[in-house]
Amino acid sequence: MSEITFEPQQKSGLVDKLQRYFEDELSTELGQFDAEFLLDFISKEMGGTFYNQGIRDARAVFEARVQSIDEDLYAIEKPD
């Protein structure tokens, strides 16, 4: 799997969220560099798990839709 990367605007938003979380929940100030480093660590070490869960969720939706289409096709079949 290729490395998970973010557009600059996305990364900035994620860094802001990490900084707010640390401030609000842990009463700790997280600097810009530290927040970016933490985001990079989370992306590298845990990102694959989140990504794979997203793939499994998308696959389940796709399979349900295919099943529904298959049922619709059987419903419109004409007798031979």
CA atoms of 66 and 55, how far apart (whole Å): 16
**Neighbouring residues of 32: CB distance < 8 A, sequence distance ≥ 6:** 15, 19
Q: Is pTM, for the whole model, over 0.85?
A: no
CA atoms of 67 and 44, how far apart (whole Å): 35
Residue-wise pLDDT tens digits, 60-70: 999 999 999 99
Q: How many CB atoms lie within 10 A of CB 28?
A: 11
Residue-wise pLDDT tens digits, 9-60: 999 999 999 999 999 999 999 999 999 999 999 999 999 999 999 999 999 9
Closest CA to 66 of 74, 55, 78, 77: 74
